[in-house]
Structures are given as C-alpha cells and as structure tokens.
Amino acid sequence: MTALRALSAKGWAALAGGLLITGLVLAALAAAVQTPPAGPAASDRPRATVSAELDRCRALGVDGGADPVCQAAWKARRDAFFGKGDGS
C-alpha cells in the first residue's frame, strides 16, 4: 500500500494515461474482432462467367467481333467498368 501512496501527481497522471491508452487499444481490438469480413460485391459474382466468355472471344480473334455472344460479353464488361450495373 505504501507504493500507491508514494506516487506523486505526475506519477498518478502517467498511470492514468497509461490505463487510458491501454483501454483505447483494447476497445479498438474488440471492435476489429467483432467486425465481419466484407464479402464479395454483388457485381463480382458473375465475373467468372463474363471472363470465360471474354477468353473465348479473344481466342476467336477478328471473328469475335461479329459474334453476338462476344458483343454481349463486351457490353457487360463495359457496363461493369463504367458502373452502369444493370446494363441500362
């Protein structure tokens, strides 16, 4: 008990500051642990299908320009890039 009485005003302030910082760090860690990880965005889910179509169109070369499936895949990719979402 004599150790507690031996603290000066600066000592008490340093102890309170240390406890405050420790509490803030623990609160930040608790908030970070409880935050659920972000799942994939809704627009990222069909990306594999569009990418597969684009790979097929790329393999077609010049003939891919006349293929309606390739045109639709390119339109979907453009819309996703420019943020049109639903294609309208």
Residues 50 and 30 in one domain: no
Task: Report how far apart the first and last C-alpha atoms of the chain are (Å, whole number).
Answer: 75
What HEC string does 27-88 produce?
Answer: HHHHHHHHCCCCCCCHHHCCHHHHHHHHHHHHHHHHHHHHCHHHHHHHHHHHHHHHCCCCCC
Residues 47 and 17 in one domain: no
Residues 46 and 27 in one domain: no
- pLDDT tens column, 22-75: 999 999 999 888 877 766 655 555 666 778 888 888 898 888 888 898 898 888
Residues 30 and 46 in one domain: no
Note down the domain range covering 67: 42-82
Q: Which two tokens stand for residue 10?
A: 């600066």
Tell me what pLDDT residue 85 has. Answer: 60
The count of structural domains within the chain is 2
Cβ proximity of 45 and 52 under 8 Å: no
Residues 29 and 53 in one domain: no
